[in-house]
């Protein structure tokens, strides 16, 4: 029997504290959502991410800073999101895939 993996946010909290962990985890999920929504326009950038969410660059910078503290050397969550998507079964709708990515990051919600 395989051991169930803890949500990503739990691992991040242990390593980086609650504040940075939740900001980084939220940035990962928010990036996945914006990436899906803007896929036809090409790769997602930090500027497009800010514009799509309608938030200031300062807010995005704070999210990015917390993410970089948790994932040194990675500027955006693009690689983390791609890795999370690898374990999602094929054939799901975009909403299903986003829900699965969110569940991997924050845990299943009953």
Q: Is residue 38 part of a domain?
A: yes
Domain range for 82: 8-106
Asked whether 91 and 85 are in contact (CB, 8 A), the reply is: no
Average pLDDT on 53-68 reads 95
Q: Is residue 51 part of a domain?
A: yes
Q: Is residue 1 part of a domain?
A: no
pLDDT for the residue 110: 38
pLDDT for the residue 6: 79
Decide which of 80 and 96 is more confident: 80
Tell me the C-alpha distance between 44 and 51, whole Å.
11
Count of domains observed in the chain? 1
- On average, the pLDDT of the chain sits at 85
pLDDT for the residue 4: 60
Tokens of 42: 């090409």
Q: What is the model's pTM?
A: 0.83
Average pLDDT on 30-35 reads 92
Tell me the C-alpha distance between 68 and 66, whole Å.
5
Q: Is residue 3 part of a domain?
A: no
| Residue that is written with structure tokens 């999101």 in the block | 81
Q: Is residue 2 part of a domain?
A: no
pLDDT for the residue 3: 58
């Amino acid at each position: 029997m395989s051991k169930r993996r803890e949500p990503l946010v739990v691992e991040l909290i242990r390593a980086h504290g609650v504040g940075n962990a939740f900001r980084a985890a939220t940035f990962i999920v928010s990036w996945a959502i914006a990436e899906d929504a803007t896929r036809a326009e090409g790769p997602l950038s930090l500027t497009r991410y800010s514009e799509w969410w309608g938030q200031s660059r300062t807010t995005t910078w704070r999210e990015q800073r917390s993410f970089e503290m948790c994932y040194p050397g990675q500027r955006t969550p693009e690689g983390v999101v791609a890795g999370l998507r690898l374990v999602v079964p094929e054939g799901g709708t975009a909403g299903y895939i986003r829900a699965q990515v969110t569940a991997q990051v924050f845990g299943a919600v009953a």
